[in-house]
A and B are shown apart, each in its own frame.
Chain A
Amino acid sequence: MNCQEFLERYSEFRDIDEADTEPDSFEAHLDSCPACRRYHEVVERGVELARSFSGPPIREDFEDRLRHHIYHADLVAHTRRRDGSSPLIAVALAAAAILAGVGAWGPISTITTAPTVDLPGISASAPQVRTILEPQPVQQSPERSPAFLNHSNLWSESNTLLYEHSNLYHRYRDGTLIRTGLH
């Protein structure tokens, strides 16, 4: 047996109870090879150390928490069983859902006993708007007026309303009313 074979089959030697291997060949190699002997010692010593160090202690509240968890697990399981084993509840819920649907359906929900009252019709007419001043097109020389002012529809009927609501219009109108004594 050489060192490579020893390393590859080391577990057979170490777990002798698990393998049907004859340990003599391993023992013979260990006797003759210091490196492999060292390897075996390191594994043995390392494992021994690992075993000797106890792991983390169980937390003080471990038992209380486990009780709590199991209680909740029981509760959830019980709730599921209860919900799952009661067909009457499911039937009642289905019936309630059907009734709610029927109640929300228009034709049935409009059947009411509220009295109806006939009232005379109401007619209304829009108030007349009196235009005090008609906007007058500004006479400007073509070379001084901007191009958009020469647009044919700028002061047309459709723009009157827009003009009447402008700040410029109100300022002119107030001035006119004061001057004419109509204020």
Chain B
Amino acid sequence: MFAEKKTHDAFGVIPAGDTRKELASLGDSEVVQKFLDGEERAFGELVRRYDSRLLNFVYRTVGDRERAQDLVQETFVRVYRHLHRFDQSKKFSTWIYTIAGNLAKNELRNRSRNPLVLFQAIKKNWDADHRPLEWEDEAYKPDDLFRKRHLKEKVDEAVQQLPEHHRIVFVLRELEGRTYEEIAEITDTNLGTVKSRLNRARNNFARIIAPMVD
């Protein structure tokens, strides 16, 4: 939105090189403050900072590229409309991840309204929560060529196979590098729940991915 060749966007004039550099050098809270002070271009900077990260997070959570794009769009629209309500004593990144996470959870909830899907999800969640933590290396290694060709899909599948409540904390911690406190805030759970889910998510992930890993 914010490419140099354009002269205007929804948020005002595209930042010239210096302005853009200036915005890029600011922290999130300062960029937010600039936007609240009427500097519409600051919103472009927020979009630039978070579009890919949010897309990765939402895609890993819902497992659908097109839908993930739509949900990220919706996230930014909500940020734009409600930024004046944002409590600036908190981290902006946690807030925006919370919005995206809630949208992703709603998406999954809407999908699970199908009774069969709901039953499968409940069973999957129950199994994942109650299966004893265990580990044994199965020493099964598929053909190398096959393994390399499909490694990406397998890793993606391994993440997708995790139950929803494990998947979110796993993605936030391992792929997005969020702290336990941030994850607790984003998922609206307590620290103990985050730790427990993360441990089980890692265990499940390891069992799925083990045959692919040398």
Q: Which residues of A contact B (CB under 8 A)?
A: 3-4, 7-11, 14-15, 18, 35-36, 38-39, 41-43, 45-47, 49-51, 53-56, 58-59, 62-63, 65-67, 69-71, 73, 77
Instruction: Indicate whether A42 sits within 8 Å of B73 (C-beta atoms), given known contacts A14-B202, A49-B151, A70-B10.
Output: no
Q: Is B137 among interface residues, defined by CB-CB distance under 8 A? A: yes
Bound together, the chains give a CA A69 to CA B72 distance in angstroms of: 12
Residues of A within 8 A of B9 (CB): 63, 67
Q: A14-B202, A63-B1, A66-B10 are in contact. List 17 more A-B contacts (CB 8 A).
A: A4-B133, A11-B198, A18-B179, A38-B137, A42-B209, A43-B202, A47-B174, A53-B156, A54-B56, A55-B55, A55-B59, A59-B69, A62-B69, A62-B72, A66-B76, A66-B77, A70-B77
Q: Would you call B10 and A67 a contact (CB within 8 A)?
A: yes
**Which chain A residue has the least Cβ–Cβ distance from B208?**
A46
B41 at the interface (CB under 8 A from A): no
CB within 8 A of B159: which of A7, A50, A56? A50
Query: Are the CB atoms of B209 and A46 closer together than 8 Å?
Result: yes
CA distance A40 to B54 in the complex (A): 28
Give the number of A-B contacts (CB < 8 Å).
117
Q: Give min CB distance, B19 to chain A, whole Å.
A: 18
Residues of B within 8 A of A66 (CB): 1, 10, 47, 73, 76-77
Known: A42-B213, A56-B68. A8 touches B59 (CB 8 A): no
Indicate if B37 sits at the interface (CB-CB under 8 A): no
Is chain A's interface secondary structure helix, strand, loop, or mixed overall?
A: helix
Within 8 A of A (CB), among B28-75: 47, 51-52, 55-56, 59-60, 65, 68-69, 72-74
Verify B56–A55 contact, CB threshold 8 A.
yes
The smallest beta-carbon distance between A11 and chain B, in angstroms, is 4
* A11–B205 touching, CB < 8 Å: no
The reply to whether B152 and A42 contact each other, CB–CB distance below 8 Å, is no
| Shortest Cβ distance from B210 into A: residue | A42
Main secondary structure of the interface of B (DSSP, over half): helix
Q: How far is the CA of A10 from the CA of B156 in the complex (A)?
A: 23
B binding-site residues for A, Cβ under 8 Å: 1-2, 9-11, 47, 51-52, 55-56, 59-60, 65, 68-69, 72-74, 76-77, 80-81, 133-137, 151-152, 155-156, 158-159, 173-175, 179-180, 195, 198-199, 202-203, 205-206, 209-210, 212-214
Docked CA distance A74–B190 (Å) = 36
When the two chains form their complex, are residues B1 and A55 in contact, meaning their CB atoms are under 8 A apart? Answer: no
Q: Do A39 and B180 touch across chains, with their CB atoms under 8 A apart? A: no
Q: Could you write out 18 A-B pairs with CB less than 8 Å apart? A: A4-B133, A7-B199, A10-B203, A11-B195, A11-B202, A14-B202, A15-B180, A50-B156, A50-B159, A50-B175, A53-B156, A55-B52, A56-B68, A56-B69, A66-B10, A70-B10, A70-B80, A73-B81
Residues in A neighbouring B155, C-beta threshold 8 A: 46, 49-50, 53
> Is A73 touching B135 in the complex (CB atoms < 8 A)?
no
Task: Give chain A residues whose Cβ lies under 8 Å from the Cβ of B173.
Answer: 15
In Å, the complex CA distance between A53 and B175 comes to 10
Q: How far apart are B201's CB and chain A's nearest CB, in angstroms?
A: 9
Given the complex of chains A and B, what is the CA–CA distance between A65 and B51 in angstroms? 13
Contact residues in B for A18 (Cβ distance below 8 Å)? 179-180
A46 vs B213: C-alpha distance when bound (angstroms) = 7
The minimal Cβ–Cβ distance linking B44 to chain A, given in whole angstroms, is 9
Q: Is the pair A65, B135 in contact by a Cβ cutoff of 8 Å?
A: no
CB nearest neighbor in A for B44: A63
Assess the A10–B202 pair: CB atoms within 8 A.
yes
